[in-house]
Every structure is written in structure tokens, then in C-alpha cells.
Structure 1
Amino acid sequence: MEDWTALQAQVLKAIDGLVGSGREVGVQVAAYLDGRLIVNAVSGLADAANGHQVTPDTPFFSFSTGQGLTSTCVHVLAEQGRIDYDLRIVDVWPEYARHGKEHTTLRHLLTHSAGVPHLPSYTTPEDFLDWDRMCRTIAMSAPLWEPGTQQGYHAWTYGWLIGETVRRATGRLLSWVLAEDVARPLHADRELFFGVPEKIPLGHLARLTDCNWSASLETLSEHLPNFEKIAPAGVRPEASLGNRRDILRTDIPSVGTVSAKGIARMYAALMGEVDGVRLVSPDRLRQITGVATHGPDWSFGGESPKSLGYAVEVGGQRCGWAGMGGGLAGMYPELNLSIACLKNHLGTNDGGPMEGVAELIRSTVANAPVPTS
């Protein structure tokens, strides 16, 4: 069995350096290879105000990265035969048929090609607390394109679209599916959440701080013509929103509160067995990791390929989600490797520090000698 002690030390040195330089406040990194935890490193403060240290179990509120939980729940249900990717949404959610959306399928939702990435300009955080209100708003909206004809990141709407479809089709809340069919079998039931349950004190969570992220969001608003449509001013993915107690307790399945170890374990269990648990079959893994959409992303511009529920990142090597503000989590199927790098000091993530740490792990694993029997 390969000894990854040196890699663990390298990762710890890298994140200690980021924290020591002031570039980061708190960082959590985990990686699984062939179903085995090979990196589990933390550094810095979960909460700079009270001096609480990050631990391997500290949950981090994570923008976008949490969508990986949502997609995984769908695939687990599909594996169980409880839902089908080609389900027409209106067959379980009749109110969704308005304005020509009657042919939208679950596959369109998963690939961000449903045409409803937008929210009303007056949307507030208080709206996010009301599940039924958000679902009514989305159901009544007119699509910006014919479903399936193009793609664009459904930043906020993804969670309610998937969550309500699952609820109508199976009679189960998405948070129940996550807890009962994903987190509990993986012994990660205190590390993978949408809304944080009452049994978990919010003081145990990492508290978000702002590096240059608010300024970056302002720049995105000025230069991307559709940014305000997907993230109106009242619900921009900022630290202040992610620190709200009511938001943290509410199921919003476009975001999640997770530990790096927990979400890396989830991705590992999509690719193979983790302590005897495998979430999907090898055939389904191939289905959900292949590129499903091509062409420019309506929301952000530029090529942004997506698989069935995940972004296809790092030149096609990683399936997962890099979150707004700098965190990331995903799987490298060719290597049977999963990586999660979480942080609480939100900043731009183009070529950011977490990508650097992830690449350190990936390249070390990729270039390691093949074990001999």
C-alpha cells in the first residue's frame, strides 16, 4: 500500500503558508484515492472573532460546491430506480408547464439547460427561507431559451428545481435523501448538509470573511450582462449572506454546508467503494461524468462544459463544483481520486490557492509509481 505521508506533509505546509501569509484565514483539505483517505489537513481559524481552530470535522458553508450534493442525491435515486433522468418535470410538477416549459426534463435541469437560471430583481434573502414561494416563482417564470437548446449556469434556481422535482416524484425532501441515502451510509451525517439541522450548533461552523470577493462580485456585475439576472443584488453569494443564521438553517440545495473530508468521501463513493459503500454503479458513473453540454455558458460566457449534474473542470479531468469565493470539490475518475479544498476567506478563485493545492495532490498521485504486487 502506497505511503502518502509525504503528500500530507506537503499539503499541510502549503496551507500553513497560505494562512501564515494572511492570504487565508481557515483551510480544510481532504483527498481519497481508491476509497482511502490519503490527505486530511487543516490550518488556521474557523472563526477569527473567537479564535476557534479549524478541525477536520468543521463544516464550511460553501457556495456552488454544495450543488454536488444535490446532483449526487439524484444519481443515488436513479440507481435505486426511484427517478429517471428523462422524467418530464410537468408529469410530477404540473404547475411548471407555464410559458412553454412543458417539455423540460430532469436531464435538462441537471445539465443547466432548462432555460430558467434567472430570479426576479427584487429577490431577497427572506424569499429564500420560503421553499414554496421560490418554487412558485420559478414555475411561473418564462424560459430564456427553449429547454435543451443551450446551457447556462443556474446558480440559485438549480436547487429548487431539482429539490421540488425530487419531492414531487418520490415524496421525499432532498435533505432526507442526502441524510438517509448518502451521508448516513458514509458515516458523514455530521458533515454533509443543505440546511444545518438544529442538533448542530452554528458555533461549530466556519465563519465566512471577505477578502476581495464583494469587490469581485461588483466587477462581475459590471462586465457580465446576465450576472444580475442569476444573482440579483439582494442575494449575491457574499460572506454576509452565508453567515446568516436563518440561511444556514434553511434547505437551499444550490449551496451546502460540508466538511472537506465529508464531501471528498461522497465523491470517492461515486467512483468506487468506501468502507464497503458504493453510491452508483460503474455504468452510471460513466453516464454522469461524460460531457453532456457544449458551447458558451449563457450566465458567465465562455466554454463551461457540464456533465449530468457536475461542472467538467481542469481541462476535463475533474467533475465537481468549484464554488464562488474559492472552494472546490470533485472527482478525477481516471485516477479514482477525489479532492475537496474549502476556505472561509472568500476571494477570487481564478488560478486561486485552492486550485493550486488540488493540483499538488492530483499531480503527485498521477506521477506516483504504479504499485507492484
Structure 2
Amino acid sequence: MKRPDLQAEVQQLFDDLVAANEERGLQAAVYLRGELVVDAFAGLADSARGTRVTSDTLFPIFSCGKGVTATLIHRLVERGVLAYDLPIASVWPEFAVNGKAGVTLKQVLNHTAGLHLLEPTRDRSKACDWAAMCSEMAAMKPAWEPGSRREYHAITQGWILGEAACRATGRTFEQLLEEEIRAPLGLKNMFIGISAAVEPRVAVLEEVGPAQEFPEVDIPQSIPNWVQPLYAWMNRSDVRQACIPASNGIMTAHDLARHYAALCPSGVDGVELLPAGRVAKAIEEVDPLIPTTMGPCGLGYGLGGVGSVMGDRPVCFGHGGHGGTVGFADLDHGLAVGFARNRLRDPSGVNTARLLMECVRRHLTE
């Protein structure tokens, strides 16, 4: 049941930001102890056509899909299909080359595998070919001794984790997403690789500010120039319909939030995607002494901390996405949040996710 006062305050916030031209289109959903208390939306999904955002509008959420993928992996670990210390090559033999025979699932989940760099290319459709990209992952050489450093595996993480899961189960990633996440929760608006039939429902991304130049380079990059600018990349039909688990999640804020609600104590509508003990294991912080440029993280999830929109405690966990989207859970409060937007901007702009959470947390203390 929605909290009328909180729902009204969030809706007013969104309406005001759209009216002030600070935002184009927005969605947010908030679950509290298994109940949907906010389902707000405002603005335009496609400014060129005047299409308005509804509760069913699908938003590209970029790396928020990493959190969903992590949950899928943890469910397989919980059942013994996979294991954190499992060498990936034990289920994916081709992966064993170039010093990767001992690379574990845990090292990919926590970004210490050294497999974060993609080669330069002029073929911008390359990332849409699952088999080709998995073959490239299998042939990679770690940039450092696995486990010795932690750097963000921005795009590669999804193919490596995804293919390991596929090899271990004999399922496609799309089948695993359906069986492990969507079906248990009755989710109809969560995709990592959409069909052409739902594409008209996807919000068109915009970017504010001067256009950036992304010249061709001859060095590997974690987010290579051939997928830049990211907003334009995710407006392409071939990219939206591809399966890129670390980077091209497309869903509603509601389905993202409901996924995290099912990771909180007692879950949602009787469904707990993971038992409490498994969640605790998944959000154990990576050794902070490992050199890194990243914030705190567990196994596939980012963790709360000072200044984090998720909260300042490690029991707040989830994942953000390019442009300010975010999905997370706060175990202390039984809180789960999904937030999506389609007008992306530089970090100096209004932080709508932070304004949303200031509103939500104020209500939690009243």
C-alpha cells in the first residue's frame, strides 16, 4: 500500500523538476518492508514525439543491470551450481588461456580479475554478438595478477559472469534471467536484451552539455570509445536488443526496486531471492587494502558509504548506472529503491536521486 504523503511528495518533486527543465523523464519506485509505498513518474519518454512517461515506460539503466546479474549468480551459488572460489575455466575450458586458469568467479564479481579492458575496434556492432564477445573474453590476458588490484570491469564483467552461468547450467542468459529473477517475482518489465516488440516503450536518452569528442585510439579501454557517447549507444536498436549484462539493462524503476525488495528480510509477497546468510556473504566488503580507484564493493554489488546516495552503511547495497540511475536495498530499514531517468548530464547538475532519497529518509524518521 502506498504512503499517500510520501507518494505525493515524490510526485511533486518530479513534476517540479520536469517543469523547471531540470529533468526530461523520470520514474521511481520504493518498497518498504515488502510494500510498494512509492510509484512515481513524470515527464517525457521521447521529447521528439511528445510521448509521456508512464509506470510501464522502460528505461535504459546501464550498469544497474550488474546488480541484477549478481543476484542471478548468487542464486546459482546458493544451490551449488557455481561457487565463488570456482575457477571459471572449470566450466568454461576455453577461458583457461593467457594466465586465466585460476581466475575465480569471486575475482570477477569483485573487480579484481584484471579483465576490464576492451580492445579498440571500428566495428560498433561487435558488442551485440554474445558469442563473439565471449570468445574475446576467453582469449583475454589479465592486466595484472588476478586478485592484486581492483578496477571497475565496466562492460566485461557481464559477459564473463554470464557465460560462466550459461556453461554451468546449459541455459542462455535470457533463460536464466527469466527463471532466476523475473518469474519468481512476476516481473514483466525487466530486460537485458529487449525484443523488437517492446522497443516502442523504451525511453529515448538525451544528454545535456557540450558534445564530447571520442577519437579512435589504439589502446585498450574499460569503456572504449567505440561505445561512446553512451547515451547514443543505448538509443540504438541493435544495442538495446543485445544481451550485455553489465551495461544494457532496460527496465522499469518498479521492477528494479522489486528485485531489491526480494533481497531484504522477509522479501516481497513471500518471495526471498536469497536467504539472509547468502546476502550477508554477498555484501562482505572487498579487502580495503587492495589498491583501487573504486568505492567499497562486495560481490557484484556496490556498498553504501560516506556520501553514497544508497546510504552511509554497508548494509545498503546495490548498483548505480551511467547518468544517475540507481537500484539498491537498505537491510536495516527493509527499504528497496529503483530510480531511472532519460536526461543525462554532467555531475554538476541536479542530483535527483539524492533529492529523492532525502525525501524518503525524512519520512522514515517521522
TM-score by length of 1: 0.89
Does the alignment pair 1:331 with 2:323? no
Letter in 1 for 2:276: P
Letter in 2 for 1:49: A
Q: Is contact 1:63–1:237 with CA below 8 Å preserved after alignment?
A: no
Classify the secondary structure of the residue corresponding to 1:147: coil
What residue in structure 1 maps to residue 270 of structure 2? 276
Q: CA deviation at 1:80?
A: 2.8
Classify the secondary structure of the residue corresponding to 2:285: coil
- Listed one character per residue, the Cα deviations across residues 279-331 of structure 1 (whole Å, up to 9, x for unaligned) are 01011111112212425775xx3x41111111113234531111111111111
User: How many residue pairs align between the two structures?
Assistant: 356
Classify the secondary structure of the residue corresponding to 1:162: helix
Does the alignment pair 1:312 with 2:308? no
What residue in structure 2 maps to residue 193 of structure 1? 191
Q: CA deviation at 1:4?
A: 2.2
Change (3 A) 1:195 1:235: same
What residue in structure 1 maps to residue 145 of structure 2? 146
Q: Is contact 1:268–1:331 with CA below 8 Å preserved after alignment?
A: yes
TM-score by length of 2: 0.91
Moved more, 170-179 or 316-325: 316-325
**C-alpha distance in structure 2 between counterparts of 1:125 and 1:305, whole Å:** 32
What residue in structure 1 maps to residue 343 of structure 2? 345
**C-alpha distance in structure 2 between counterparts of 1:123 and 1:279, whole Å:** 40
Classify the secondary structure of the residue corresponding to 1:13: helix
Q: Is contact 2:72–2:181 with CA below 8 Å preserved after alignment?
A: yes
Does the alignment pair 1:35 with 2:60? no
What residue in structure 2 maps to residue 126 of structure 1? 125
Does the alignment pair 1:170 with 2:178? no
Q: CA deviation at 1:144?
A: 0.9
**C-alpha distance in structure 1 between counterparts of 2:277 and 2:313, whole Å:** 19
Residue from 228, 250, 257 that aligns with 1:257: 250
Classify the secondary structure of the residue corresponding to 1:252: coil
Letter in 1 for 2:244: I
**C-alpha distance in structure 1 between counterparts of 2:115 and 2:353, whole Å:** 30
Q: CA deviation at 1:69?
A: 1.4
What residue in structure 2 maps to residue 88 of structure 1? 87
Classify the secondary structure of the residue corresponding to 1:341: strand
Residue from 206, 215, 236 that aligns with 2:203: 206
Q: CA deviation at 1:97?
A: 1.5
Change (3 A) 1:79 1:229: same
Change (3 A) 1:237 1:146: farther
Q: Is contact 2:10–2:356 with CA below 8 Å preserved after alignment?
A: no
**C-alpha distance in structure 2 between counterparts of 1:212 and 1:160, whole Å:** 32
Q: CA deviation at 1:64?
A: 0.8
**C-alpha distance in structure 2 between counterparts of 1:364 and 1:288, whole Å:** 28
Give the unaligned 5+ runs of structure 1. Answer: 222-226, 369-373
What residue in structure 2 maps to residue 69 of structure 1? 68
Does the alignment pair 1:288 with 2:287? no
Change (3 A) 1:115 1:362: farther
Residue from 220, 237, 240 that aligns with 1:248: 240
Classify the secondary structure of the residue corresponding to 1:99: coil
**C-alpha distance in structure 2 between counterparts of 1:361 and 1:288, whole Å:** 28
Alignment identity in percent? 34
Give the unaligned 5+ runs of structure 2. Answer: none
Classify the secondary structure of the residue corresponding to 1:121: coil
Change (3 A) 1:209 1:297: farther
Q: Is contact 2:327–2:336 with CA below 8 Å preserved after alignment?
A: yes
